[in-house]
Structure 1
Amino acid sequence: MKSFLAFLIAMGIIVTLSDAVCWRKMHKPEEDKNGCMINGKVYPFGHIERTEDCYTCNCSEDGVECCSLAHTPVAFDEKKCKVVFNKERCDYDVVQKDDPSKECFVYSRVG
């Protein structure tokens, strides 16, 4: 029972610390009525699984709401490692500064 309670507390802390990068934009009356403009590209109304800039969005006639697909690393060896954005996977790679072909261990991510 104690381990279950500890698990619930840990999950509550993790959810509280999560930091999803989301934004919302309402349409102006003069804007395109055929979809949503996201970073210079018009997307059709409905759910957008993945934009060119690694967001998942919902586009409606009222506006657009998007959240980042990438999870930002926040705990890793910053002296030996660096963060590199991988646009193919819509995520961040953490690699050694001296040898970028080697990955570094990441303790936690947010997003």
Structure 2
Amino acid sequence: MKSFLAFLVAMGIIVALGDAYCFSKRYKPGKADKGCMLNGKLYPLGHIERTEDCHRCDCSRTEMRCCSIFSTPVAYDEENCEVIFNEESCDYDVVQKNDPSKECSRVARVG
């Protein structure tokens, strides 16, 4: 049992330190001189710590590279728990269906 608990803790740390999904968008010369467009919003050139849709990005005149800053729950007690996106923290909360003020335990995440 102790080794199983150690395994769960180690996997939780690995998942927490793992990179989230990433994408990039290339621009034609002269197209992004004022910044980068993402989901209808213009972001300034340089590093963007957090976009409105929870990404961390780098914007240059030739490319915008972004990675999500949230992780997605993939394994949890679906019968007793539900997933709610928390826009303030840019992450998913996995809470008990009968009492959303309580978090569910034993949740595996990716991203």
TM bracket, shorter-chain basis: 0.7 to 0.9
Q: CA RMSD in A?
A: 2.2
CA contact (8 A) 1:56 1:67 kept: yes
Runs of 4+ aligned structure 1 residues displaced above 2 Å come to 28-32
1:53 and 2:53 equivalent? yes
Name the CA distance, whole Å, in 1 between partners of 2:94 and 2:68: 18
The answer to whether the Cα contact below 8 Å between 1:73 and 1:106 also exists between their aligned partners in 2 is: no
| Aligned residues of 1:94 and 1:106 also touching (Cα < 8 A) | no
How far apart are residue 106 of structure 1 and its match?
A: 3.6
Query: What is the number of residues matched between the two proteins?
Result: 99
Structure 1: stretches of 5+ with no match in the other structure: 1-6
TM value normalised by structure 2: 0.78
Please report how far the alpha carbon of residue 19 of structure 1 lies from its aligned counterpart in structure 2 after TM superposition.
6.7
Percent same amino acid among aligned pairs?
A: 63
Give the partner amino acid of 2:81.
C
Aligned match of 1:4: none
More displaced stretch, 32-41 vs 82-91: 32-41
Q: TM-score, normalised by structure 1?
A: 0.78
Residue number in structure 2 paired with 1:65: 65
Inter-CA distance 54–106: structure 2 relative to 1 (3 Å threshold): farther
Tell me, in whole angstroms, the C-alpha distance in 2 between the residues paired with 1:93 and 1:85: 6
Partner deviation per Cα, 1:40-92 (whole Å, 9 max, x = no partner): 11111111000011000010111101000001111210111111000100100
